[in-house]
Each structure stands twice: as C-alpha cells, then as structure tokens.
Amino acid sequence: MDAAAQRHQQLKNEANKMAMKIPFFHGDDKEDALDIKEMIRRFENSADAMGLADNAEKCNMFGNYLRGPAAVIWQGMDFYGESKVDWNSVKKYFLKEYQGEVDVETFTFKIAKLIQGSNESAVNFGGRCLQSVYEQYKAIPAPAADTLNAEGAACTAGGKANIHQATLKLVTDITARSLFLTGLKENLRTLTMQKTITTLREAIDEAAKQEKLLKNKNELKGRIAVLADMEDEELEDQELDEDTVSKINNTRARQGKQPYRRFNNFRVNKQNGQGVRSGSTNGNKNGNQQNKEDWKCRYCNAPGHMQADCRKRKSAGAPLVDRHGKPLGGKGVREMESTPKEDELLGHLRQSSGDGCHSIQNTEGLNF
C-alpha cells in the first residue's frame, strides 16, 4: 500500500473514531442527549469526514446508532415499505417520526417562540433565528417553468438554480433579521435599533456589541455598590480615580449616607491660605467630618496625623502600608516627596514645635 493510500486509511480510521462519539438515539426525551435533527447533523458530518458515499452502508451505520423505541421504528420501516438503503428516505422518515421535519404549522409555532432567553447571548439567539427560518425556506422548491417570465424561462437549469438559491438567501436574511430584532431583550433591542441595520449579520454584531457594553456597565455598578458599602478607612487602601469617587458618593447619597472624603490627600485652601485635608472644612465646623485629632498614624501610632505625613516614617524610609500592615507600593496612597526648601522650613518648624509629627497649618503655597 502506497503512502497516499495509507494516509487515506488513517484519516478514515480517525473519522470513524470521531463518529463513534455520537451518542445513541433512543427516541426518548429522558434518554437522549440530542434531538433527532442534531443527531442526524452530527451523523452526516462524521459520514462526510469518513468519505462514506455508499447509501446502503450509510443507512446501515445510522441504524447501529439507534436504541430502544428508535430501533423499533427502524425495524418497522420494512413493514411500511420504506427504503432502508436510501439515506434521504431514511433521514426524511426519522425527521417526520420524531417531529424534526419542517412544515408550515411547525414554522408558524416557532415564530411565536423566537424570543431571546434570559441567559441566551445575542449571538446564540441570532443563530437560532437563522436556523429556524432557513430550515423552512430551503425546503421551498424552485418555481415551475410555466410560472416564469420569458427571460427566466430562457435561463439554463444551472442559472435557474443559482437564482433560486440567491432568492432564498435574501428572503431568509430579511425574515430572520426582522424576527431577531423583534425577539431581542427590550433594552438590547432599543440600543441595537438605534443603528442602521441592513443585514442579519450586522444586527447580530451590533447586538453583541451593545450586550457587552451593558454587561460592563452592570459590572461597574456592582463594583460601585460594593465600594459604597465599605468604610472610609477601607477605601483609603483602594486605588480610586475621581470619577469612581464621584460615583461612590452618588450611591451613598441615594442611601442617605455620608460621602467619602480622601483624608490622606493634603491640599491648600485657596480662600484662606491654610493647608487643609481634602474633605475637611476650616475649623471642622461640620460635625460629621472626621476631626484630625482622631487621626492615628499607622507607622508611629501617634495621634494627630496620618502615615503619609509621618516624619519618623520618612526618616526611616519605611513604605506606606494598608490597614493590614501590607506595603502599598505605588498603589493607594501616593508618597509625597518634599523639596530641599520645604525640608529647611520643616526643620525650623520642628525646632519651634518640638514635635516632628504635627500636621502643618498656615503654610502659604506648600502642598505636602
């Protein structure tokens, strides 16, 4: 046997192994993993992969996959005079017996059922719409010659077949697109139909895009809800941008809670020239805002300041840590470096106050 023949035999053996993975068909919903249409589809794909062109052999192999009630139906085909050696006849017979055959009543019933499932993606729903419509339309026969005009009647048989197939594809796309857009979830349908949609493919792609955006938006809302429930001390350890902080405070406002303020971000009050912490007011007139005397340094445990301002920590070169003592690195609270000019001024303040850990007030133009 030459190399080409050996290769062909190897492929056939592999295809046979693949075919054997098709589950048996019992004709019983409780027993069957696949419905009759899916079972036949997988069987045909495997037969094609094996290069199985002999009709009788193909039918015989199909019979070997039948069990229980389905095997009884197979045996009864002889009694009713149905062919068991012509694959198209066998396929049609089993589709009819197990309600897999396409007919007008079935199609009309399916149209009412073409609604996107709660956990069904837009892509899968689009495929279901296409399959339901195409199965119906592809069964429509080509028009008889006497129904065609002179130009159509003059076409060759091949030309007529091409025109027929192109027409079926066009009406399938139009119908499936309409059913797809109608059956989408309401919020997804509204967003999708705001775009110019001309084909089923465009409708599916746009719906899938909007579906992803909605999912990301819902995930963000969920994250904001979790952050809004956290204590301010816990939020200090999070890496939050201003937009996220704004969303957190909007959520807290709807819940009747106090807003989150960044106590570790030191800024200058432009109105009175006093350095104050973000979220506080001059003199702490708002009783709901945290008093700086209640602050406690995570490094030296002394009250009255935060670790970002701690001179002892800076002198030791120690990193900022979260509430569990884990170094923050470049995340969370930003390490603020002082300039030589600021260090000189801090030295004078230290000599006059005797405590290097006091927070600095009344210092025009400095931002620590």
Q: Which pLDDT score is estimated for 266?
A: 37
Q: Model confidence over 272-329: pLDDT tens digits? A: 444 444 444 444 444 334 455 567 788 888 887 878 788 888 889 888 887 777 786 4
Say how many CA atoms lie within 13 Å of 212 toward its Cβ: 6
User: Helix or strand or coil: residue 88?
Assistant: helix
Q: Round to whole Å and give the CA distance between 323 and 38.
A: 57
Q: What is the pLDDT of residue 161?
A: 83
Q: Domains of the chain: which residue ranges?
A: 3-101, 110-144+155-218
Query: Which mean pLDDT values do the consecutive 10-residue runs of the chain (368 residues) have?
Result: 74 66 87 88 84 86 92 92 93 84 58 82 90 80 78 81 88 92 92 92 94 84 81 76 84 85 46 41 41 71 82 88 69 40 46 43 37
Pull the structure tokens for residue 363. 């210092």
Rounded Cα gap, residues 180 and 200, in angstroms: 8
pLDDT at 17: 67
Considering all CA atoms of the chain, what is the largest pairwise distance in Å, rounded to the nearest integer? 113
Architecture label for domain 110-144+155-218: Orthogonal Bundle (1.10)
Q: What is the pLDDT of residue 336?
A: 40
Nearby residues of 332 by Cβ (< 8 Å), 6 or more positions away: 236, 237, 238, 239, 320, 322
Strands (E) located in 202-298: 266-268, 275-277
Structure-block tokens of residue 269: 């009050």
199-219 pLDDT per residue, tens: 999 999 999 999 998 888 877
